[in-house]
Amino acid sequence: MTVIGIIPSRYYSSRFPGKPLENILGKSMIQRVYEQAIKSKLDKVVVATDDHRIFNEVRSFNGEVVMTSSDHISGTERCLEAINKINSKHEIIINIQGDEPFINPAQINQLINSFNNEEIEISTLAKPIESEEIFFDPNKIKVTINNKKAISFDRIINSEFKKEIFYKHIGIYAYRSKILKKICLLSPSSLEIKYGLEQLRWLQNGIDIVVLETSLDSYNVDTPNDLKKIIERFGSSK
């Protein structure tokens, strides 16, 4: 089983333009994501971007990078273009978010190992929510699970918070190559358009997403305030 990691990374973001190039304790965000990814069992790691500034930054630290269209509406579509451009024959594709500067390689490996089960087509990660701050933050996506499969993804859950009952979605996806091609042919669904969550398109089309539980957290950067918190958290150790 051969596995490639693709890191979709675009410059323009409504909440935080240019964040892939932000300096985090001496390194750009995209460099930190890349360096964490290559510590895993991935056979190859490639950044897929639509911006020459990010392209040049990845080249500056000798990372592999490919230019992709600026027209994609999701990171998944950017992943597909990237593997087509480099003529990848890898069986499994891991979509690693470009705003996860401290993603743990063990999380990537957990997803890779899930494909020892031949029935799995798409897998992702989730962590039990331990704080009200995470639960009520609309930028932290929650996933509802039944029998290890996602039922829904939500920004807000209209419920009383209960510790370790609800799950925070860790935004990393793994796909078999065949299913990746299939989901990229699907039209945006009503729920995807309403909530801005591409994975809802897959669920609405009857495609299973297996959710693996992890005890490891993620530290994604959606806003400048997220970046500030991460620098404060990791500043003493990096």
Whether 210 and 118 have beta carbons less than 8 Å apart is answered as: no
Position 237 pLDDT exceeds 60? no
Q: Are 124 and 169 in contact (CB under 8 A)?
A: yes
- Residue 42 CB partners (closer than 8 Å, separation 6+): 3, 4, 5, 94, 108, 112
Lowest mean pLDDT among 110-114, 157-161, 177-181, 217-221: 217-221
- pTM of the prediction? 0.93
Q: What is the pLDDT of residues 62-104, one digit of tens each?
A: 999 999 999 998 999 999 999 999 999 999 999 999 999 999 9
- Tally of residues, the chain: 238
- Candidates 75, 149, 84, 144; CA nearest to 119 is 149
* Token representation of residue 98: 């470009």
Q: Are the C-beta atoms of 140 and 134 separated by less than 8 Å?
A: yes
135-148 tens-digit pLDDT: 999 988 999 999 99
Strands (DSSP E) found in 81-202: 92-95, 122-128, 142-146, 149-154, 167-176
Q: Which residue type, as a one-letter code, is found at position 109?
A: N
For 53, 78, 125, the CA distances from 8, given in Å and listed in that order, are 14, 6, 18
What average pLDDT score do residues 168-181 get? 96
Q: In the beta sheet, which residues pair with residue 212?
A: 125
Phi/psi at 58 (5° precision): -65, -40
Residue 230: its pLDDT value, please?
84
* Residue in this structure with the two tokens 């390689």, named with its chain if needed: 105
Give the chain's largest Cα–Cα span: 48
